[in-house]
Chains A and B, each alone.
Chain A
């Protein structure tokens, strides 16, 4: 079966469904607290496939690889130091196995380095570009359908990521920011700045993930939409974590409450919709149902 590509599906009418959270869901499936999720790519691959399959079954058109923290800079201080290529390739293979026989696509996830670029932090721009390029090459070689640079907070780092990625692959790239100070990133970046400065850099879509409350994320999306003509990627958290009786973080937005917002997100302009931290397969199923409903009855 020849799959329709990401760009083909983006050119169609309607909204695509992304996946939900990786970290919080793996943790509820037994990932040891404090362990990076990438450890399970090598040690518990069936759990990674299982979660991805649950998202596909819930209605995801695109699932992300478990490689958010798999850049060489981030792996350096973990037990996976030096295993960047193995982790990225395996994670891509696991995602591909999970979508086998379905039209769903695989997006290679690339997170921030976790360090600040000079002069504010210790990281050289060239080292950042090299690390991003390397991860992008591993993921592209493994055959992912697109790449997603996500949870970005610094324009300079996002630009370094795009530079590095575009040096090694022509795959479509999505660039997504986390506005975790409400409608500004921790570096003070506004959605409009993201729209103005990232839109011209050859990205296929531009977006928002993680962040804080659903209300703030929605406000940020309106600001972003007004500053770009690119399709919008929207993957908010299911609220902020609360603690359950056994001491595990849970999220305060129910699947129904999150899904109820979907028509509004679509009317604002979201073209790709999923969820970040706290978004379980149940949340995603409810979101997908709303997305599909809006496609059957396109009142807007």
Chain B
């Protein structure tokens, strides 16, 4: 990895937004490949952040500042990625299910997915099953990612899966679920394709769902 890419990488891990944007600009000015900035600088850094989170070294605050640094760099990079026709890892429609207003975890998942070069359509919180269906329809998404923090709202994941079935879209998308009260067993029971206990592992699961 060259020096600038290394600087982008470590500035994201340290959550130094200003350094990240300055270094991304520098890299672009020098004519560095946009895909190299994305993959070697940003995606690699967010993968490391995810690893640190899983290991209990990083918590939500560290993850958030890292993700923000990544996002500001990504915003600068986006026009170049489009021009160079760099493909995203996949398209994800994400939201917290109906009745549930918690969005901290869902936001982290969205940020980590973006940091792994996914294109994310964030529907927000308290998302009606029909809204998920409509978004899948409109965007041709590869994955529907649903979050719930409450035991009282997690059954709406199943309701949403049923709505996707009823709309004839269930075979066209993979369903990824997560949230504090969930378990792999619950994900299996409601017929989801994947379960992730945290934002970092959501990325790994999303990748494996795309590859499957």
| Interface set of A (CB-CB < 8 Å, partner B) | 23-24, 27, 31, 33-37, 74, 77-78, 114-116, 120-121, 180-182, 184-188, 240-243, 247-249, 277
Given A241-B181, A277-B181, A186 contacting B151 (CB threshold 8 A) = no
B155 at the interface (CB under 8 A from A): yes
Partner of B186, one of A33, A116, A186, A242: A242
Indicate if the CB atoms of A241 and B186 lie closer than 8 Å: yes
- B residues 59-90 with Cβ under 8 Å of A? 59-62, 64-65
Indicate if the CB atoms of A74 and B101 lie closer than 8 Å: yes
Minimal beta-carbon separation of A121 from chain B (angstroms): 7
The majority secondary structure among interface residues of chain A is loop
Given A34-B156, A241-B183, A27 contacting B56 (CB threshold 8 A) = no
Partner of B64, one of A120, A243, A247: A120
Partner of B60, one of A115, A120, A243: A120
Subset of 29 A-B contacts with CB under 8 Å: A23-B150, A31-B152, A33-B99, A33-B152, A33-B156, A34-B152, A34-B156, A36-B152, A37-B152, A74-B101, A77-B126, A78-B101, A114-B102, A120-B60, A120-B65, A181-B59, A182-B56, A185-B59, A187-B60, A188-B62, A241-B154, A241-B181, A241-B186, A242-B186, A243-B186, A247-B189, A249-B151, A249-B181, A249-B186
B6 at the interface (CB under 8 A from A): no
Partner of B183, one of A120, A182, A185, A240: A240
- Which residues of the partner chain A approach B185 to less than 8 Å between Cβ atoms? 242-243
Cα A248 to Cα B153 in complex, Å, equals 11
Minimal beta-carbon separation of A278 from chain B (angstroms): 8
Indicate if the CB atoms of A188 and B61 lie closer than 8 Å: yes
Indicate if the CB atoms of A187 and B150 lie closer than 8 Å: no
B104 at the interface (CB under 8 A from A): yes
Q: Determine which residue in B59, B62, B100, B158 has the highest number of CB atoms from chain A within 10 A of its CB, and name it.
A: B59
Q: Name A242's closest neighbour in chain B (CB-CB).
A: B185
Cα A115 to Cα B64 in complex, Å, equals 14
Additional A-B contacts beyond A188-B58, A242-B185, A249-B186 (8; CB < 8 A): A33-B99, A33-B156, A34-B156, A184-B59, A186-B60, A247-B158, A247-B189, A277-B181
- Which residues of the partner chain B approach A120 to less than 8 Å between Cβ atoms? 60-61, 64-65
Indicate if the CB atoms of B101 and A114 lie closer than 8 Å: yes
- Which residues of the partner chain B approach A78 to less than 8 Å between Cβ atoms? 101
| Interface set of B (CB-CB < 8 Å, partner A) | 56, 58-62, 64-65, 97-102, 104, 125-126, 150-156, 158, 180-183, 185-186, 189-190
Cα A31 to Cα B98 in complex, Å, equals 15
Cα A77 to Cα B97 in complex, Å, equals 14
Partner of B151, one of A27, A36, A121, A188: A27
Per CB-CB distance, the 3 closest pairs between chain A and chain B, nearest first, are: A34-B99, A188-B59, A33-B155
Indicate if the CB atoms of B155 and A34 lie closer than 8 Å: yes
Cα A242 to Cα B152 in complex, Å, equals 13
Q: Name B198's closest neighbour in chain A (CB-CB).
A: A181
Indicate if the CB atoms of B183 and A24 lie closer than 8 Å: no
Minimal beta-carbon separation of A154 from chain B (angstroms): 9
Minimal beta-carbon separation of B33 from chain A (angstroms): 33
Indicate if the CB atoms of B155 and A186 lie closer than 8 Å: no
Given A24-B151, A34-B155, A180 contacting B180 (CB threshold 8 A) = yes
- Which residues of the partner chain A approach B154 to less than 8 Å between Cβ atoms? 241, 249
Q: Name A78's closest neighbour in chain B (CB-CB).
A: B101
- Which residues of the partner chain A approach B59 to less than 8 Å between Cβ atoms? 181, 184-188
- Which residues of the partner chain B approach A24 to less than 8 Å between Cβ atoms? 151-152
Q: Determine which residue in A121, A187, A249 has the highest number of CB atoms from chain B within 10 A of its CB, and name it.
A: A249
Cα A120 to Cα B66 in complex, Å, equals 11
Minimal beta-carbon separation of A211 from chain B (angstroms): 10
Minimal beta-carbon separation of A280 from chain B (angstroms): 13
Q: Determine which residue in B56, B58, B151, B186 has the highest number of CB atoms from chain A within 10 A of its CB, and name it.
A: B151
Minimal beta-carbon separation of B23 from chain A (angstroms): 22
Minimal beta-carbon separation of B31 from chain A (angstroms): 35
Q: Name A237's closest neighbour in chain B (CB-CB).
A: B181
Cα A34 to Cα B150 in complex, Å, equals 8
Minimal beta-carbon separation of A159 from chain B (angstroms): 16
Q: Name B100's closest neighbour in chain A (CB-CB).
A: A34
